[in-house]
Structure 1
Amino acid sequence: MPEFNDFLGSLGAVLSGVAAVLALLYAARQVKASRKMAQEANALQSHREYLSLCLVHPELSSSILFAKAHGDLRSFDHIEEEHSRESERYLWFLTILLNNCEQVLRSTPGSKAWRTVLKEQIRYHHPVIHKVWPKWEKGYTDAVAGLVREALADGPEEDWVKWVKIGTDAPSNSGK
């Protein structure tokens, strides 16, 4: 019987070890899932704050709305040199947008859905970002720089192109 007792003791130790390993794997999985949920919550909070600013200041939420609100602008060639209260507010708003992109990209690396959302937000401001980006790019991470380059490569929104070329208020398909 001592052999059987030794066997049961060894089996119990092995089963305890297996249970401990399984518990450790489960705990690691839960920590990873919690971390991912927290990162997604950070991204949502950051973007929610940006969208709230868009609602409070709709004239800053896209280049075309800014242009319409400030004398029917057709070009942003000199926006950095204007130093008007309105141009400074708009440039700071763009900084908030780009910082939002930074926060979301850091919180949700590899998310194609978030990348698409952020790229579209940048495209709403394409005419201005196209002008300021060469000076601003060095202040952002490679992730944001790549996102901005992608958005700029896609070109401005159709409404902006019509606004500049025709000089009339084109119907909006962008939801802004």
Structure 2
Amino acid sequence: MARKNTLRYILLGLLSKKKMSGYDLRQSFQNEIGEFWQAQHSQIYPELAKMEASGLITHAIKISGEKLEKKIYQLTSEGTSVLQEWIHTATDELPVNRDEFVLKLFFISDIHDPALIEIVQQQYDLHEAKRHHLVARERALFPTQAAQEANYGHYLILAHAINRETEYTNWLQDVLGKITD
């Protein structure tokens, strides 16, 4: 089965919310989208060019200051159709989980390995910090039920991320309890 270009659909989805520059799109990966998907500058701009060549988006030039030109992208009707088709097509496969920490654990044979406590504690600290960040984002973005309902999909993925980090930190606490006894 051919891999679909998920970045294309993310960019279409972001542009369905509002017109954006390439910089604005990149910032979305630093903020909201970055909680569950990553993309680099070197991936975003070539994809925007391909999408424009395919007729999924267009751009207009906006002058900022005296000379600075910015391309402001927007969806075409074709782009909207492609996005809607993707949203309404079932996702019939599980995501690939690439967790380097878990891979390292796989290769540790001895419960008394001196690195074990250190790497588990480090992961616990990282995941606990991320969990606190996500809870703060949820409080800031969705303080009321009306706010949750206004952007329900975003609310759901944030709740999912909080649950994921909570479960991960609970598991790491259990592991730490076993290896420090």
TM-score, L = length of structure 1: 0.29
Structure with higher Rg: it is 1
**Which protein has the bigger helix share?**
1
The structure with more strand, counted as a fraction of residues? 2
